[in-house]
Every structure is written in structure tokens, then in C-alpha cells.
Amino acid sequence: MTQEEKISVLLVDDHAIVRQGLRSFLELQDDIEVVGEASDGQEAVAMVRELLPDVVLMDLVMPHMDGIQAIRETRKLSPGTQVLVLTSFAEDDKVFPAIKAGAVGYQMKDVTPAELSDAIRAVHRGETPLHPEIAKKLMREFSDPTGTAFQRDDLTERELEVLSLIALGLSNRDIAARLFLSPKTVKTHVSNILSKLHLADRTQAAIYALKKGIVSTDAEEVDRGE
């Protein structure tokens, strides 16, 4: 893989030892390049402006400017930059504002290096990697047992299956393996789902599915690290 093909990543965390650890294993990945480090939200925004990274790995609780505000500013400055939250906090006042601000993935710091690397690749592809604890929280928050606002005839049965797995944070590759389909076929289903539901991206699709109760299995059953 050439230098130009690598996923450029900006690390944002107020603890130098955390950034050092992240850099150490990410730099072992052939397709990922750490292009900078920031210790707070203000520094992160300045570096996004300068570097235009593919992915920002964003902590939430930091001095000067918190991660949520930094996510908002990042999305304004560089719409092509995807933000993946990496934090120790799973409280509602962190999760929901971060997603609303524009984060496309949310991971906890208990993930393994391999899981985090895969999550970075996923957000770079425009997918929505959610830690199982976060996926379950979103299900509880947005579930709609009545389902009155959603006409299931709008989507085919296969599209409903794909949508329910998007809600669990699975990548196209994982969905393809789960449903015994090709990744290309899954990509087509995802495109059809977004078009039919008038949604912009997978993050909106995941939140929509959780809100409407379109979930076929518990988040704890998601195969992590595949």
C-alpha cells in the first residue's frame, strides 16, 4: 500500500500516555498513518484545519474545548473528515450529543487494538462502528414498540435484515458474512435503504432503525473484532 492510500488519523486525547499507546499500535498497521496528536479540543480543531485528516480519533472530556464541541467544529471545517469517538464515558449526556454533533462511530477504551483499527477503517468507509454497550443504549433510548411511524412495506425483507444489522454497527463485510451475501450486494441494499428512507448516511440509518425498533438481535450478540 502506498503512502497516499493510507488512512490519515489525528489522535485527540488529553493524556500523553494514551496518545503514545494509540500511536504505537496504529503505526504497526500498513494502511493507517498517524499524522498528528492534539491534547485538547482547541488544538484538535486547529490541526484539523491544517492537516485535513481522514479520521479523527476523538476523546470527549478534555480542557479548553471538549470533544463534542470539537466534533462540531471538525465537521464544519472538513466535512470529509470522519470522527470516531474513543472515550471511557458511556453516559447519555456524552453519547447522544456526540452522535448529534456528527460522530460516525463511538467506541469505548476497553476495545482491543485490533477492534479499534477495524473501527477506524470502518468509519473511513463511511460505516458506523458502535461499541455494543452504546448500541444497546441507543436501542433502549430510541425504541418505538408501536412502530406506527414506519411502514415496513417500504423496505424488502432483505433490506430490513440489512438495516437491523447496520443498527448494530456491523460493517458491509460483516453483514455479508452474516447473511451469506456478497459485499457488493450488501452495498446495493444499503444504497437502496438510504434512498427509500431519505437518509444521508449509515449513521442516520442506524439511529433511524434503533428509533423504530428495527432490530433483529441483541447488541451483545454482535461479533466484535471480525
Instruction: Using DSSP, state whether 149 is helix, strand or coil.
Output: coil
* Bigger pLDDT: 42 vs 136: 42
Sequence spans of domains, the chain:
3-132, 143-215
pLDDT in tens, 78-106: 999 999 999 999 888 888 889 888 999 99
pLDDT in tens, 144-155: 444 444 455 478
The CATH homologous superfamily of the domain defined by 3-132: Response regulator (3.40.50.2300)
Q: Which CATH class is domain 143-215?
A: mainly alpha
Element housing 87 (H / E): strand 82-87
Q: Which CA distances in Å does 194 have to 45, 119, 188, 203?
A: 30, 21, 10, 10
Q: What is the pTM of this model?
A: 0.67
